[in-house]
Chains A and B, each alone.
Chain A
Amino acid sequence: MSKQRVHIARRVPRHIGAHVLIYTLAALTVIPFIWMVMTSFKPLGEIFRVPPTWFPEDFTFDNYTRAFTAAPFGRFYFNSLFVAAAVTVGQLITCSLAAYAFARMRFKGRDLIFYIFLGTMMVPIHVTMIPGFMILHWLGWIDTYAALIVPGLASAFGTFLLRQFFMTIPVELEEAAFIDGCTRWGVLWRIILPLAKPALATLAIFTFMAVFNDFIWPLIVLNSEDMYTVQLGLAIFRDRYSTEWGNLMAGSVVATLPILLVFFFAQKYFIKGITLSGLKG
């Protein structure tokens, strides 16, 4: 018997054990989601059955129709998507501009300003939210879309992420364009941004997710139900219909679906965005 075969014979069972354990843990991790989806398609009687059924025996959409009539979930949905899209587009613009200035332009105190700017990422939102609320109150923006969108239109994290990426782009490309008479705007628009697509995608996906999932800010600045985002609506809904699990699970599916869909198609950008934002602290 060759040495190698002994090696394999010993290694295979060990890896089987690892497979079993890791797949079990993965199953435990996703069971709450599966349970959510299953419950959302069960009629009331089946939800309350003991022992519980795995798959819905009488598949129904009733929970969804009830969730959308008991609370204006359609409206919440529109609010969330609109606000998240607006902040995302806005941040892509403001962060690209600022990142370009920090990466390529020369002005006095540039690096100092950049580091102070970066340093503010250490400050938790709980420090800024009280004066932030006050300012919105003075502006008369409480309970408006502006309150949800405008404060999110600048981001130190986004600026940092794009600046780091812009700095890896060879400056020769720009010089050639300058010689051809291109302006700074032209260079940013025609050369830098097309090359920076991966960084822009990371920022866009991360921002969209952060805004769509945000809870504390909408909680503070919104009053009327018409303005609620999906997350705020779901939280209030849970409080009001605390045991109507069918409706609540339908609402949860609705609140997680867009993010899960995007995640399905653009996993790597999510992971990059979240990892980098974790690192910012």
Chain B
Amino acid sequence: MTRRENQESRLKKRRSNWPSALLFLSPTFVIFGVFIAFPIVFSFYLSFHEWNMFSGERDFVGAHNYAAMLADPEFWHVFKTTAIYTIGTVPLNMLIALWVAFILNKKIVGKKFLRAAFFTPVIVSSVAAAVIWRWVFDPNLGLLNFALESIGIPSVNWISNATAAMFALIIVGVWKTFGINMILFSAGLSGIPEHYYEAAEIDGAGGWDKFYNITLPLLSPTTLFILVLSIIGSFQVFDLVFVLTFGGPLGSTKVLVFYLYEHAFKFFNMGYASAVAYALFAVLFVLTLLQIRFFRGQAYEVA
């Protein structure tokens, strides 16, 4: 920081002010203003109105949209579905990611190759991932049922059975995202000084002791950070659901954003959908604030 101030004071001689800064900032400000800043404000305004985009009339309805949302059993259903998805994916995701990061932190042959393999699902599109997995889940010809049958487990109707569909969604969700958390955990692990482990070894600590008494406690800021991040991510799941199950069967995998999408772009209840969007935002905002409060410095360290 002091270095930066230093640099600035030396630059003071060249006094640049708003007009010249605006030349640099205007492209970003214009696009940002029209497509981010204005929409943030406008959708808040919309959330207090009833408006079908194509029929004109915009009526102020106060907090009616929010009240209607809280009174809609379907809202609570999709909220529950999203929560189930979150509870199903996040802990499993983090366990796998931590384990992989922990192993890759040791002397393992082919680390680069392994890391690339675990990261590949992260970079492919959710649409392609969902299409590929639909094939793997195919009840008659799918690879998964074939593998299950070959070890004596009866095949499952993955996509057309309500419980199995949620399982399928969770499997793909974990597969698709644990690579990110693996990288974050790896960064956290490499930040733990080697001499802590050496000291513990001298005291006769075994592998599990070291993991439980050194790795886990020192990693806890990273872990909490990843936890919040993963919850935020899983609350916004949409693409996967759209292509893998389309919210079905019978709404069993219909998540919050899917519900929002339907209200906005199928029924064109723009006001109501905006209220739902703000409710989602409120949940994520609280989580983000918690994260900022606890890990202000940590985020940069992990990066």
Contacts and interface: CB of A to CB of B under 8 A. Distances in A.
Interface of A: 14-15, 18-19, 21-23, 25-26, 29-33, 35-36, 39, 47-48, 50-52, 93-95, 97-98, 100-101, 104-108, 110, 117, 120, 122-124, 126-135, 137, 150-151, 153-154, 156, 159, 167, 171, 175, 178, 184, 209, 212-213, 215-216, 219-220, 231-232, 234-235, 238, 245, 248-249, 251-252, 255-256, 259-260, 263, 267, 270-271, 274-276, 278-279, 281
Given A231-B127, A259-B125, A132 B236 contact: no
A33 B131 CA distance: 11
A106 B40 contact: no
Nearest to B104: A22
Contacts of A154: 27-32, 35-36
6 contacts: A19-B109, A36-B135, A123-B281, A151-B35, A167-B4, A255-B128
A274 B115 CA distance: 14
Contacts of A255: 124-125, 127-128
B11 A120 contact: no
Contacts of B207: 14
Contacts of A153: 27, 31
B183 A274 contact: yes
A19 B29 CA distance: 51
A98 B20 contact: no
Given A39-B135, A97-B27, A98-B24, A215 B239 contact: yes
B187 A275 contact: yes
Interface in B89-137: 96, 100, 103-104, 106-110, 112-114, 116-136
Given A97-B24, A128-B36, A130-B264, A275 B180 contact: yes
B132 A32 contact: yes
Contact of A215 (B10, B17, B126, B277): B126
Contacts of A171: 7, 10-11
Contact of B108 (A18, A134, A216, A256): A18
B43 A35 contact: no
A182 to B, nearest CB: 11
A256 B183 CA distance: 21
A124 B280 contact: yes
Interface string B251-269: 0000001001100110000
A219 B299 CA distance: 33
Nearest to B243: A235
B236 A33 contact: no
Given A127-B277, A128-B35, A212-B125, A18 B103 contact: yes
Interface string B181-212: 00110010000000000000000000100000
Contact of A26 (B8, B118, B122, B284): B118
Nearest to A104: B11
B20 A274 contact: no
Given A98-B25, A122-B284, 9 more contacts: A29-B175, A117-B32, A126-B236, A130-B273, A131-B43, A134-B53, A216-B238, A255-B124, A270-B123
Nearest to B96: A25
Given A26-B118, A126-B280, A128-B36, A256 B125 contact: yes
A16 B119 CA distance: 23
User: Which one of B25, B31, B34, B116 has the greatest number of beta carbons of chain A within 10 Å?
Assistant: B25
Contacts of A19: 108-109
